[in-house]
Structure 1
Amino acid sequence: MSTRMTTTFALAPETTPDAVAMLAEAAGYAPDGATDLSGDGLPDRAVWTRGGGRLTYARDMATGLQTLVIEGETPAGWPAALPLIDEATIETLLSSNDEAQLLAGLQAAAITGATALAPLVAARVATLDPALADYVLAFAAAQPAAARPGTVIKPFPTSGGRQEKLQLLRWLGAEGPGDNDGIGTAMVAGGLEDSDWEVRATAMLVAARIAAVPLVGAIARLALPESDEDGVVRRERSALLALRDAALARLGAPRDRPLPPGVAEALCGDYAALPADLRAFVHALVEPVPTQFEQPAVPGVVWTETGPRRIDGRLLAWVPRAPHWLGDDSLVDGPDNPSRQINPPRGFLIDAEPAGEATLVEARARARATGTRLPTSDEWEMAARGPDGRRFPWGMNARVPVDLSPWGMAGIVGGKGEWVEGLAPVGHGIVAGRRRLPVVAHRTVASDETTHLFRFAYDII
């Protein structure tokens, strides 16, 4: 059975659709079907055929990058006859502060496999939205082995882009083995030298997942958190040491001591054998936050670039239907909230910022008056924590607070705590979140006559 060859080329920005059409017809291709025109009157897609071959021109409407896909035999004299994008132009795009141009540069780098631009690609993406990680991974997958074995480029910037670094590393780990000496190993090497222990720990686990053998020495010397002030309790610090031993063993440098149950399996994404109180902890260090979810049509809500908004302009946070880790076994006071993973039956919307301050009776009355309700304690925790099991809205490292959750909820740790719905004695209610203890799984019982912040939740019908 023969295999149909497909080749993709990135075209120079100055290329016109008419020029592509002339080249196609000169090579014996005939137009196949109508050309799709965009709002500016230029075609964003056109197809030509020749025998069993097919030629597709496409223009990305978000970035403007033009591509040509050849299915079947490449015509004689091609690609030399094509107006292809050059490395200097890609570098210019990658250096741009315009997001569309930067994205065009990432797309072109992924298509052309411009190895010399690998450090620039990784450095730019490490400071941008995690949704761009797929482009870096596509680029990494296209790279040959490093030109000089034993050397490692370190493309991560030394500061900034913390969430993007973590998400990028975790997407890389999700890809698994297959990038031993290329850009993936380079990214991990930079992560191992980061000033943030959470970035370092994530890089260590990802190194094991992608089989980054050149990094054994750096992992053996890696500085890990040493105090509760870092955001990890003693049992979790011991787990990190065991995970380092497991990573070294996986990379061919085992330590002369046995591994605790479940640790080796956790490196491969199987957390079931870990003690229950450690599953969310390890999951939070290595699993990426999902980024692709449906945006439901909700009466009175519009979806904008900054997130969903009510028609009065109030910003909301969308918590999608996805597995979420809840609870924290390290907490010693407040209502019982053990570590567990749940699958909510549906997604919901919640105010991105608190709506006001009131007693519990007053907050419930205001919710009824607006046709909404207070969130349950579990819903509030999902919105404040995200799905991956992190202890704080910003991650696991207590020393780098950012009052914003993965789902876009803010105002979580800067006030008096918030009223949520939950089981409480008569005359009392449940309060989530507080300034002194930003562990989002923590809940307290308070008199319903005291005032606390509140926000509204919106059901999706």
Structure 2
Amino acid sequence: MMQTRHYTLIASPDLSFGELRGRLTELGWDMESASEKPILEGEPELAVFVHRTEDTRIHYTYNPVVHLRVLQFRGPRAESWHLKVAGGISALGAKDLHRLLDSIDLKHLLLGLFAAEELSEIEVIEQVARLCLNADARVARTAVRVRDSLLSGAVGRVATQLVEEQTQHPERSVWFAHLSQPELRKQVLRWLMRDFATSNASIDQTLRSALADSDPEVRITAVLATARLNAKNAGPALREAAIPTSTSEGADRRDRFFFERLRQTALRYLATESVAPNSKNHEGKREQFRKAIHGELEVRDDPTLLLHALITPLEPAEPPKRLPEEVENRDESYFLKRSGLALRWVPPVPHWLGEDPTGAPEPQNPIRRVTPNNGFFIAEIPLTTAMVFWSSEPDTEPPAAGNKNDASPFLCTYDVATHLCEVFSHLERASLHLPSADQWEMAARGPDGRRYPWGNCFRQDGQLAASPWGMKKGPQNVYEWTGDVGPAGSRIVCGGQATAPCAARHAVSAADAAAQGSLRFILEGEPD
């Protein structure tokens, strides 16, 4: 028997039952039944409405705790009446769910979660997933259930969509195109370059999809992968790929010609037989290109570091072998115990740092590889104003906004920043301090030498992205204090511009005592 599909609306919590009933009556609906003795007078938890002329019903439920009003339409005309009623009442949509799930109010968070589950709104899955780690156990438990429900319900819809797209583009890999994040698609290509010597039919499909990807760095990575894997069958897609040539398209000013030269070199490389890695009979540019795509080129300047970052996959990070007493682990995420401030782990693995000299009178930061001794924890976001206020009354509940991505950073002088390190060290009974410039760059850049936290191509919304280690709000329009001292006693700051690469550093004169910046704490890892 075919199952009739149900259509759901979530009425605005500001709409009372009386107002809702009145509007439904105007549209031809009569209340057939309602629950007696509701918790809130005049607000029944259950009701059924029937249409006067059509065989369609509305099943209404109400959660008085969070004011969740659910209207479920059932019957042969359910879809059309769902649309008509949606136009006649104030109903919650995806934008409203985003707003509720970004709230710091408990009832708003729960309302957003319940509404997302009822509407099967997969668009908010990332916010729901973040709330699985919320400090409030009620929110976290609900978010886990809603996340699982959304993912389960999405499987059938995605499967149907994949079949349709594969029929339209049989030469491409639909599964690759539907990997949710550009970072995932880039890493797939880099692992293919690492794990396979040559292409095959499945890899050819993946490369064709990647060369037509919406993300510019995925396309550039695919250029190198096509050559590295000698994927001659992907040659036509390589010729047609849209190579970024401007900032708006994702190309940094230094790379606008470099990316196109990569494509032309890759095409010439595919036009001849591949060169064995140890061949001594081919030198010059082609041999240099072969070394680059095989990871054999020495990193010595910005172009070679960029090539390294484009072909090198991220290795899984090892968790800390010993957890400091002041840190707690919640589902593989780390938090300071008293304040609940979110931390990110930077493991003791080699990191590429630095950039070519820019000619500007800034602190020197040459290209080099650095390994932190024991690893370290760094605050996920800069210290917020709300968290600073809490530190003056630490017996109160810590602010939920302290872990939110959109919380505004607290701005202060260097002296105040070091004082706050002492204050929070006392509260947490931990040795918290400002990061060195190298530590800040490691956390913002990750180990592969990428230019920005999100990758190697410019993005207008990049300041919202997390680094490979999970640090957020790195490059933004606020400098961040570090513990490093520069020439003549100056203080070294990082960040400062949304478009600044992770390697950018600046010196603040010791005489400029009023200079302000934000700060984030670090906590050194325990020795083995």
TM-score by length of structure 2 reads 0.55
SS at 1:216 equivalent? helix
Higher normalized helix content (fraction of residues)? 2
Q: Give yes or no for contact 2:432–2:522 (8 Å, CA) kept in 1.
A: yes
Aligned pair in 2 of structure 1 residues 383, 292: CA closer, same or farther (>3 Å)? closer
User: Which residue of 194, 211, 215 maps to 1:196?
Assistant: 215
Shift of 1:311: 1.0
Aligned pair in 2 of structure 1 residues 439, 152: CA closer, same or farther (>3 Å)? closer
Map 1:440-455 → 2, pairs under 5 A: 440-446=502-508, 447-455=512-520
Tell me if 1:414 matches 2:476.
yes
**Separation in 1 of the partners of 2:191 and 2:290?**
20
Q: Deviations over 1:367-389 (max 9, x none)?
A: 23412111000100110111111
Map 1:31-430 → 2, pairs under 5 A: 97-98=150-151, 151-157=171-177, 160-182=180-202, 184-228=203-247, 232=251, 236-253=255-272, 259=285, 262-272=288-298, 275-296=300-321, 297-305=323-331, 307-312=333-338, 313-329=340-356, 331-333=358-360, 334-355=362-383, 356-369=410-423, 370=425, 371-400=431-460, 401=462, 402-426=464-488, 428-430=490-492
Q: Deviations over 1:163-195 (max 9, x none)?
A: 22112222222212254112x222221110012
Moved over 4 A (4+): 99-102, 150-154, 228-235
Shift of 1:209: 2.6
Shift of 1:335: 1.5
SS at 1:453 equivalent? coil
Give the structure 1 partner of residue 131 of structure 2. none
**Separation in 1 of the partners of 2:287 and 2:257?**
13
Gaps of 5+ in 1: 1-94, 106-116, 124-149
Shift of 1:306: 6.0
> Which stretch of the first structure deviates more once superposed, 321-330 or 311-320?
321-330
SS at 2:207 equivalent? helix
Q: Give yes or no for contact 1:354–1:411 (8 Å, CA) kept in 2.
A: yes
Q: Deviations over 1:182-216 (max 9, x none)?
A: 2x222221110012221101111122233322101
SS at 1:452 equivalent? coil
Q: Give the partner amino acid of 1:450.
A: A
Q: Give yes or no for contact 2:317–2:347 (8 Å, CA) kept in 1.
A: no
- Identical amino acids, percent of aligned pairs: 32
Aligned pair in 2 of structure 1 residues 302, 353: CA closer, same or farther (>3 Å)? same
Give the structure 2 partner of residue 32 of structure 1. none
Q: Give the partner amino acid of 2:415.
A: V
**Separation in 1 of the partners of 2:186 and 2:153?**
23
Q: Deviations over 1:46-83 (max 9, x none)?
A: xxxxxxxxxxxxxxxxxxxxxxxxxxxxxxxxxxxxxx
Give the structure 1 partner of residue 522 of structure 2. 457
Aligned pair in 2 of structure 1 residues 162, 319: CA closer, same or farther (>3 Å)? same
Q: Give yes or no for contact 1:385–1:392 (8 Å, CA) kept in 2.
A: yes
Give the structure 2 partner of residue 14 of structure 1. none
TM-score by length of structure 1 reads 0.62
SS at 1:440 equivalent? coil
**Separation in 2 of the partners of 1:426 and 1:165?**
46
